[in-house]
Amino acid sequence: MKICCIGAGYVGGPTMAMIAKNCVDSKVTVVDLNQERIDSWNSDDLPIYEPGLLEVVKAARGRNLFFSTEIDQTIQDSDIIFISVNTPTKDYGSGKGRAADLRFVESCARNIAKVGGGNKIVVEKSTVPVRTAQMVKEILGESNNGFSYQVLSNPEFLAEGTAIADLENPDRVLIGGDQSKEGLEAIEKVVSLYNQWIDRENIITTNLWSSELSKLTANAFLAQRISSINAISALCEATGADVDEVANAIGTDSRIGPKFLKSSVGFGGSCFQKDILNLSYLCQHFGLPEVAEYWDQVVRMNDYQKDRFVQRIMDAMFNTVSGKKIAILGFAFKKDTNDARESPAIAVCSRLLDERAHLAIYDPQVPKDTILSSLRLDANDKRVSFHDCATDAANGTHAIALLTEWDEFKKLNLKEIYAEMEKPAHFFDGRNLIDPIEVQNAGFRLHRIGKG
């Protein structure tokens, strides 16, 4: 079986690498317009950081896994085509700031129809609004090239930082398609790929629309839990309760469970906010304004938590950070990834810069250029400096803001760091990573979300 994946990003690259590793009789080719990105995939300096990814890529690359810019030829030769392109929030026209921008998905569908090459199964791997497949089917159906197409939905449920483990042993694989004879046959062909390393009972099959909607719903529910515990963290500060103790108490309830109950600066990444806004937009479109308002509130609470974190810094530092130097530890939206898209650090750093603070930034994986681009800063901006380790970043600062829960931050020598800081020194922890007793022993004034 010949498999093509259009899009060599955070989803397409790792997913196809895992399929190639386990489906040795299939030829898997990942194609992308970006030559630099393809060159990176063909090297040992991959374009994305993910623990274990390089080992999986090297196990199959050159054997049955290939990365190429030969898009049309690869599409023409393939039996199954995964569409794994970006679907950002629209920044123009109708639905601006809420609806998903599907121009890249549409472009892929038109290119598949133009290239032809035989009957094909086209699989939506990108996160798309429910009923996007109708657009893809209409474009392919009107190609008049004599070939037939079956359109399936196979959304990804990867968590960045644990993507390889998620792919190797997923909670579930979801595949949706038409419930016709041809549609069910197409579903089973894709099932047969995953079934080579995943138990059949963990592969769920549904109709097309249920599969598309399930991805948005899953992300909305996870984000809702984060916003819920962050809302309670604000109440804990006002009342003297401990949000960690509250989270532990309710997490032992089997109906609730312990996951996603850590208060933090807020959720980030390329999925949660984008997918909730998309879900809200769909609800408005289908005449459900009350449902849309419900999901909008999850995003508002997330923005409130980021604002609240900055306000705590301001309150603790005599209501001004102008001219003060603040260490920013972590810029990725979560640990074990170099992805800074929608990271809470962007909002926190931007607000601190607006208040004329100077920032000393360290993240183990996010490149300097990515940080500058995220903050819309020039490389020569004197208000920001970049450092090779947390200790160096903290040297001579008035405060430390811990924004990403990298494991290496658990091993910091806090007394040594405190000795090199300006006094009084403050430690602002939005990630519940470092023991507050250690911080207090080092001499910091600790300001932790949810603990006061």
Cα 295 from Cα 95, distance rounded (Å): 16
Instruction: List the catalytic residue out of 5, 271, 283, 349.
Output: 271
Contact criterion met (CB below 8 Å) for 226 and 430:
no
Question: Exposed, middle or buried: residue 143 (CB in 10 Å: 0-12, 13-18, 19+)?
Answer: middle
Q: What is the secondary structure of 83-103 as a DSSP string?
A: E----PBP-SSTTTTTSB--H
Contact criterion met (CB below 8 Å) for 389 and 362:
yes
- 384, 431, 428: which is closest to 406 by C-alpha? 431
Cα 32 from Cα 67, distance rounded (Å): 8
- 390, 445, 450, 398: which is closest to 421 by C-alpha? 398
End-to-end alpha-carbon separation of the chain, Å?
58
- 177, 172, 250, 243: which is closest to 211 by C-alpha? 177
Residue 179: how many other CB atoms lie within 10 Å: 12
Handedness of CA 381, 319, 232, 89 (dihedral sign): negative
| HSE value, Cβ hemisphere, 13 Å, CA-based, for 255 | 0
Q: Report the side by side order of strands in the sheet with 399-402.
A: 384-386, 358-362, 325-329, 399-402, 426-429, 445-448
Orientation of helix 289-316 relative to helix 208-239, angle to 10°: 40
Token readout for 54 is 């390089």
Handedness of CA 279, 281, 282, 283 (dihedral sign): positive
- 203 φ, ψ to 5°? -110, 115
Cα 433 from Cα 215, distance rounded (Å): 30
95 Cα distance to chain centroid? 22
Calculate the CA dihedral of residues 364, 368, 373, 377 and round it to 10 degrees.
120
55 Cα distance to chain centroid? 22
- Assess whether 283 carries a catalytic annotation: no
- 147 φ, ψ to 5°? -105, 155
Place of tokens 């401990």: 242
As annotated, the active-site residues are 271
